[in-house]
Amino acid sequence: MWSWPVLSGEQKKAEENYKDKPAAQPILEYLTCVRELNNCHNEERAIELIDKHSFDMACVPTHLRRHTRVWEQALVRMPLQGVLTNIRAMTRSNFLSSEGAPVLVKLINILRDPIALRASNLDPLEILVALAQAEVGWKLPDRGVPNHKETIKKRVPQYTLHSSVLQELRNMLATSLTFVPKMTPVKMVVCVDTRNSLTDESFGCWGLSISRSLSVTLLSLLHAGADIRLVTMTPEGPAPIALGVLDTIESVSARLEALPRSTQVIDPSKLLTWVRQSHGKVDLVLLATHSTNPVEDRTGLWAQMEQFRADQNNVKFVYWALHCKKVHPEIRNPGNPNMLDIAGFSSDAKRIMQAFAKDCF
């Protein structure tokens, strides 16, 4: 059940205008219960209202959220996305620290439910973000935190999240890969730049390594039905990196981190030349890198993309700088709609690439 903010004056006006209409009575009763819940200070009465009208925590006012039983009652009615979002709030209230705590037991049961996970349509990247934030205790990075973020710092839990929650989130992430919906087939070539450390964090999600970001993204695409050729550039040319649906997030992350460190800037035009000569029709070429690096031959890259268009090959090129807030200077050609720059990491990265590859924007 969902709710919306209604001012008391508007409620009274609605009740007056529709009090004689039988069809409106369930809605009027619901509005009355919302108003009562917002003004309720009795734990038992709040639980009765939550149970009767299937309110979740989005409807529960702040002053009632300090009660354990209110969380127990509302948690099972909450969408799974909302459950992940509220783990920090439950940790701040010290509901998830002690073995056997009632809210902890309820939460673990929810996270273990594969039926709920499938029904939620959660993307693995959304779970990854929740997990990565929980693993670092929702702390902010030590550097680059301006003073105006003091209010955010105050929201960091002072209590420790029980390790069982982290383990269940990891299990949930692994399971979610098998529930990724199939997409229109996409043929991709993904090149990983190894000039910088892939263990550095992804901008936009403190505590999440670049290798882990890439691993979950690539495995999600693979389970969705994408045909992916994963490579890294060497002086001799592109070298393949093993990737398959039987791989785990951990195994792919370890494989990426073990790649030899490169000393050369990747020339995207040479990558595209190799793609044209070796692969023919490709939907998307992705160059995943640590940060914005000076591309030695940007005009050559642009020329290669124009040649693809002249050959009636609608290949897309994405430059993904995972450690950056902004790609500067731009790698893409502003006049070529088949080129895209992405800076940092977000849970929408995979969806953006899928949509871009299939001309959805």
Residue 4 pLDDT: 42
- Find which of 249-258, 259-268, 273-282 is predicted with most confidence, using mean pLDDT: 249-258
Torsion of CA 167, 169, 171, 174, to 10 degrees: -140
Residue 149 pLDDT: 61
Residue 285 pLDDT: 96
The band of 201, judged by pLDDT with boundaries at 50, 70 and 90, is very high
What average pLDDT does the structure give for the chain?
A: 88
Half-sphere exposure of 305 (CA within 13 A, CB side): 24
Burial 105-115 (b: 16+ CB within 10 A, else e): ebbbebbeeee
Angle ∠(133,211,190) on CA atoms, nearest 5: 130
What is the Cα–Cα distance from 210 to 99, expressed in whole angstroms?
33
Residue 346 pLDDT: 94
Residue 145 pLDDT: 56
Burial 55-89 (b: 16+ CB within 10 A, else e): bbbebbeeebbebbebbbbbbebbebeebbebbbb
- Placement of tokens 């070796």 in the chain: 278
What is the Cα–Cα distance from 8 to 310, expressed in whole angstroms?
64
Residue 329 pLDDT: 86
Domain span(s) for CATH 3.40.50.410 in the chain: 183-357
Burial class (CB within 10 angstroms; exposed 0-12, middle 13-18, buried 19+) of 34: buried
Q: What is the DSSP annotation of 91-155?
A: HHTTSSSSTT-HHHHHHHHHHT-HHHHHHHT--HHHHHHHHHHHHTTTPPPSSS--GGGHHHHTT
Q: What is the DSSP annotation of 252-308?
A: HHHHHHTSPPP-S---HHHHHHHHHHHHSS-SEEEEEESS----TTHHHHHHHHHHH
pTM: 0.88
pLDDT top residue among 281 and 200: 200
Residue 235 tokens, joined: 């002086």
**Does residue 329 have a cis peptide bond before it, meaning omega lies within 30 degrees of 0?**
yes
Mean pLDDT of the region 121-126? 96
Reduced to 3 states (helix: H, G, I; strand: E, B; else coil), residue 337 is coil
Pairing of strands 316-321, 339-343: parallel
What is the Cα–Cα distance from 249 to 338, expressed in whole angstroms?
30
Fold held by 183-357: Rossmann fold (3.40.50)
pLDDT top residue among 96 and 139: 96
Q: Is the per-residue pLDDT at 148 higher than 60?
A: no
pLDDT top residue among 317 and 143: 317
Under 8 Å between Cβ of 227 and 188: yes
Q: How remote is the C-alpha of 5 from its chain's centroid?
A: 28
Residue 146 pLDDT: 60
What is the Cα–Cα distance from 345 to 202, expressed in whole angstroms?
6
Under 8 Å between Cβ of 172 and 113: no
pLDDT top residue among 263 and 301: 301
Residue 142 tokens, joined: 């030590």
Residue 6 pLDDT: 44
Name the least confident of 137-151, 204-218, 225-239, 250-264: 137-151
Q: Is the per-residue pLDDT at 343 higher than 60?
A: yes
What is the Cα–Cα distance from 280 to 229, expressed in whole angstroms?
13
The band of 7, judged by pLDDT with boundaries at 50, 70 and 90, is very low
Name the least confident of 3-12, 57-66, 211-220, 257-266: 3-12
Long-range pairs for 69-72 at CB < 8 Å and ≥24 separation? 69/43, 69/102, 70/43, 70/46, 71/95, 71/103, 71/106, 72/102, 72/103, 72/106
Name the least confident of 20-29, 107-116, 160-169, 332-341: 20-29
Under 8 Å between Cβ of 289 and 266: yes
Pairing of strands 227-234, 187-192: parallel
